[in-house]
Amino acid sequence: MNALVKELEKDSAAMKEWLEHMHRNPELSMHEARTAEYIAQQLRGFGAYEIATGVGKYGIVATLKVGDGNKAIGLRADFDALPIQESNDFPYKSTVEGVSHLCGHDGHTAMLLGAAKYLARTRNFNGTVRLIFQPGEETMEGGPAMINDGLFERFPVDAVFGMHNIPGLEEGKFYFHPGETMSAVDNWEVEIIGRGGHGGIPELTIDPVVAGSSIVMAIQSIVSRNVAPAHRAVVTIGAFLAGKAGNVVANNAILRFSVRTTTPEDREMVLNNIRRIVAHQAESFGCTSEIRAGIPGAVLVNDAGETEKAARIAQAAFGEDQVIYPGPSFLASEDFAFMLQKRKGTYCFLGNGSGKMVHHPEYFFNQNVLPVGAAYWVALTEGYLR
């Protein structure tokens, strides 16, 4: 085992305790008051950091300056949960109905806390490290909220770095991709308004479920028929909500979907086609419609120089066989993209091993990689702030 990972293994029990506490007590995006206080409490216990809370509502920035170096590095972890019912049966499974950490943000935070504890103890660097604990990643709110609250003006950094676990990638390996690495996302809600009534007398109703079903199918043609095969995009309808009884025609139906694109031109085209299809399909069934747009995401673009630098530091720390460079890109989305618009840096992936993909009810964060991820944060800090 790598020497640095062995050192971080000494704090494995603490990292597991932090992860399991947050996993049992998940909070949704921008409602993470108790989670934020828990994180701040752990940081205070390390006795070395200047801690700022309430940055962008629930964000936390912990600062540690060592020596006379004038460089500063930012390390970011997220800590919000998802509105999904967990199907796992762990002793530390979620205790909150319909809410769970099924993306691994509890693990991300535990790894950064592990690195924080180690760095406070060893202080083997010259400069400033800023640990950024961010709320609201899942809704694309937390990153912009912290930035708008003066994140980089109040806590300057030369570069900022993020990391995400990915099931299906080899356990404990790091994957770095320069340039465009994750897609922009638009989370939309569409309401189809019809006229409810008795299921046995449909001629007196206008059925929004039928209209909504037609919209679902029509939208699937947008990417396949309008996006160039050389480009990448996806439209996913994740929720179709209507009615509560089988013998009642609902008065309205709700569609919730995510739109992921990798170029501004494709984004504009896909969204315009959705607007057109929703309006015309709803009208053709005698319904009306309303579109409610969420906060748009951005394409995550890793700085080529910083990506190569981070990959080289990881190779030196863990061995070349543990680092894949260049690695894969994904059509998932991340509001860390907004931080990379403000400061150069990179976002890497940590292999979670085999298991269900993030956002699946049976997903779980592989606790074996906790010391590995924490060791990466330490190696990056020590390598960047020599």
pLDDT digits (tens, 9 = 90+) for 54-88: 999 999 999 999 999 999 999 999 999 999 999 99
Sign of the alpha-carbon torsion through 308, 124, 39, 22: positive
Sequence-ordered list of residues with C-beta below 8 angstroms from that of 296, at least 6 positions apart, any chain = 140, 184, 185, 186
Query: Structural domain of residue 157, as residue ranges?
Result: 3-182+299-384
User: Is 137 known to be catalytic?
Assistant: yes
Buried b (16+ CB within 10 A) or exposed e, 37-76: ebbbebbeebebbebbeebbbbbbbbbbbbeeeeebbbbb
Question: Are 264 and 316 found together in one domain?
Answer: no
Pairing relationship of beta strands 72-78 and 159-166 according to DSSP bridges: parallel
CATH number of the domain residue 44 falls in? 3.40.630.10
Quote the pLDDT of residue 256. Answer: 97
Question: Are 60 and 176 found together in one domain?
Answer: yes
Question: What's the CA gap between 140 and 297, in Å, rounded?
Answer: 6
Count of domains for the chain: 2
- pLDDT, mean over the chain: 97
Question: Are 38 and 171 found together in one domain?
Answer: yes
Question: Are 120 and 141 found together in one domain?
Answer: yes
Residue ending a domain, among 247, 264, 293, is 293
Question: Are 171 and 209 found together in one domain?
Answer: no
Sequence-ordered list of residues with C-beta below 8 angstroms from that of 69, at least 6 positions apart, any chain = 125, 126, 127, 128, 385
pLDDT digits (tens, 9 = 90+) for 274-284: 999 999 999 99
pLDDT digits (tens, 9 = 90+) for 187-218: 999 999 999 999 999 999 999 999 999 999 99
Which residue in 27, 80, 106, 334 is the catalytic one? 80
Give residue 324's pLDDT band: very low, low, confident or very high (50, 70, 90): very high
Pairing relationship of beta strands 174-175 and 179-182 according to DSSP bridges: unpaired
Residue ending a domain, among 260, 293, 326, is 293
Question: What's the CA gap between 244 and 253, in Å, rounded?
Answer: 11
Quote the pLDDT of residue 366. Answer: 98
Global pTM value: 0.92
Give residue 2's pLDDT band: very low, low, confident or very high (50, 70, 90): confident
Nearest CA-CA partner of 49 in 119, 145, 126, 139? 119
Question: What's the CA gap between 236 and 185, in Å, rounded?
Answer: 11
pLDDT digits (tens, 9 = 90+) for 344-363: 999 999 999 999 999 999 99
Binding residues for Mn(2+): 103, 105, 138, 164, 359
Question: Are 160 and 280 found together in one domain?
Answer: no
Judged against a pLDDT cut of 80, whether residue 1 lies above it is answered with no
User: Is 80 known to be catalytic?
Assistant: yes
pLDDT digits (tens, 9 = 90+) for 104-127: 999 999 999 999 999 999 999 999
Judged against a pLDDT cut of 90, whether residue 368 lies above it is answered with yes
Rg (CA), the chain: 23
Question: Are 225 and 243 found together in one domain?
Answer: yes
3-state SS assignment for residue 332: coil
Is the Cβ–Cβ distance between 330 and 348 less than 8 Å? Answer: no
pLDDT digits (tens, 9 = 90+) for 145-176: 999 999 999 999 999 999 999 999 999 999 99
Which residue in 11, 137, 186, 382 is the catalytic one? 137
Question: Are 165 and 211 found together in one domain?
Answer: no
